[in-house]
Structure 1
């Protein structure tokens, strides 16, 4: 999953390797949050999570973080410097210390931790991206303006930018109520119990057939069809798995599991104010050509989520999810468009998912609702095999 930019080498590796990057990041119309208890809330049923040092070899700095946070942390470094894994690591031998940038990265992490401890009371204010901002070498001087004056941007645009007269904005509860009405109303939404979507996912110049099965209240399966077989991601309401050719399925953990549970909540529009303990307004922003109200959703123990609702349409146009890592937050943005009415409710027929590493777009060809969906769709996937077997 640690890919930053497409190169000639990436184009040559084939669709199966692209799947590593895209499987978790391809969102569906159920971009909602789980309302029932998940595995995070049932520690007695979940094995103790190993530390990074217990699960991986030769960990020097990030020894005590949960093992399932190590890969997102590496992704944060990759995105902050604009590099691939091989910049620091020996390919296929990640415990090898042969490359000097790996030791330098350890020193930089220790420096960052010391700065935050000594200057910011231990709060995570300075990150890799603070200085690198997508470059291997931090800029030591301000850039020269290329086209007239370059206006200064506020440090926290989500809090300080745009219109700041919150008194003139509708309350989040009113925005949510308008959203439910824009989709067709609570009664119409409640009548839908299942949804099957077929379409095409495009990324890095490749197009793949995709099938997405969702079932109330919180089950979801995504099937990506490759020339040599299928790769599947499932969530059954409590647990999730991902299968990738030709490897056996592995359980989803940490941020992967959290994102999949968000996708699986079938009735998010009706439950939104239950999902978030608090909804806070932020300055409106534009999404495409439409002005949007911005609502910050607070979830206990997790980074906030940003929800963008069209001022005119009332629809959810964008959602930004953040993965917390020990080094900083990784954003993932989903934009919804081409809403069409199906069985009395509006469904997006196109959505684009973007993060610091990739961008993918799903174009829906068909939506079927209230059709039978077998429970087996949400079970642990079988080990993928070649097509036709």
Structure 2
């Protein structure tokens, strides 16, 4: 049996599925529906959106696990909300309904974008909703003056920027963070803290364990009048959820999104596969010069690390996911670095996935290194 995440506040806050994001623009099909599958990265047999949701017409071929990100992208590109296109009735969302003209218009616009990309850009994702809408329901028609033209000195400085070598950036990063040849760069780490979502809906207490095999154990406890605690486990062999005494397998959609979020917080991950890293450009974050390091994740995803040229500390991490319609992102901005056992750890993470219910501020209260493997089990409880 697959745990139904739609009714868990702990999961809803983190992932923003169903009632909050209008995942999939449709209702789920019955369980006996025959499904086709497609491999997505390290996940096998990923179900497509049209296999489990009703009335998918122009998002065909999109893996179901990516549909929430696509919906969040539409939402933000037009500066609106799920209810602009989807019907919210007394009994909940009717995602499959075509009652609203806005949804029918959205389909025409998606088809237009796909056709332009196919005709002029070889099928890539070069243009999308945001290209014209810029966060507004109406496409932006006029440039606001003054524009973004550079002064000559700004142009000269931009041209003069040199891209540092990857070895130099990584060496500076290791020295700044303090994990070069450190025993704390292996074994199990725990993070404990709180999360406040951007909408102000609810707060959470969380506990995260990460080992050097990219396994995760994550407990999220919703605080307030209706407490709700959920534990997630992710290993190479299993993905599971525990609520109360019930332990069940997590479905691919939920497991994909939760683990994608957890990967953003794994500060050791930058050095896990150096051979795939490349320096792609020099940029800035809040006026601070950064070197941007790119790494592929799988066929559909890649990520960028923004490393400060001044301090060597990571300031931001962005994961890009390519779908048949858009490229959407999730990201974490890091701040409030403090020393823990000789290592600088960011104690503030601003997480952003385009959904105010699931984006927000993570504050770390404690970090522990070198936890005994016998004290933490990443496997499902018996």
TM-score category (smaller protein) = 0.7 to 0.9
SS of residue paired to 1:187:
coil
SS of residue paired to 1:304:
strand
Counterpart of 2:330 in structure 1 is 332
Write the distance in 2 (CA, Å) between the matches of 1:215 and 1:190.
11
Counterpart of 2:136 in structure 1 is 135
TM (normalized to structure 2)? 0.76
For residue 217 of structure 1, the aligned residue among 213, 216, 237 is 213
Counterpart of 2:113 in structure 1 is 112
Write the distance in 1 (CA, Å) between the matches of 2:381 and 2:157.
46
- Aligned-residue offset at 1:163: 3.0
Aligned residues: 338
Equivalent residues in 2 for 1:166-245 (5 A)? Answer: 168-189=162-183, 192-203=186-197, 204-205=199-200, 206-227=202-223, 228-237=227-236, 239-241=238-240
Counterpart of 1:250 in structure 2 is 250
SS of residue paired to 1:108:
helix
Cα deviations by residue, 1:45-99 (Å, 9 ceiling, x for unpaired):
x4x3333222111222223333333332222222211222221112322112222
- Aligned-residue offset at 1:266: 7.2
Write the distance in 2 (CA, Å) between the matches of 1:88 and 1:40.
28
Counterpart of 1:315 in structure 2 is 313
Write the distance in 1 (CA, Å) between the matches of 2:240 and 2:315.
28
Counterpart of 1:69 in structure 2 is 66
2:269 is aligned with 1:268: yes
Q: Is the 8 A contact 1:242 1:251 kept in 2?
A: no
Task: Give the aligned CA root-mean-square deviation in angstroms.
Answer: 3.5
2:158 is aligned with 1:163: yes
Write the distance in 1 (CA, Å) between the matches of 2:321 and 2:13.
15
TM (normalized to structure 1)? 0.74
- Aligned-residue offset at 1:179: 1.0
Structure 2 residues without counterparts, runs of 5 or longer: 1-6, 18-38
> Closer, same or farther in 2 for the Cα pair 1:224/1:323, shift >3 Å?
same
Equivalent residues in 2 for 1:19-168 (5 A)? Answer: 19-23=11-15, 46=44, 48-91=45-88, 92-143=93-144, 145=145, 149-152=146-149, 163-165=158-160, 168=162
Counterpart of 1:28 in structure 2 is none
- Aligned-residue offset at 1:136: 1.4
Q: Is the 8 A contact 1:76 1:325 kept in 2?
A: no
> Closer, same or farther in 2 for the Cα pair 1:243/1:106, shift >3 Å?
farther
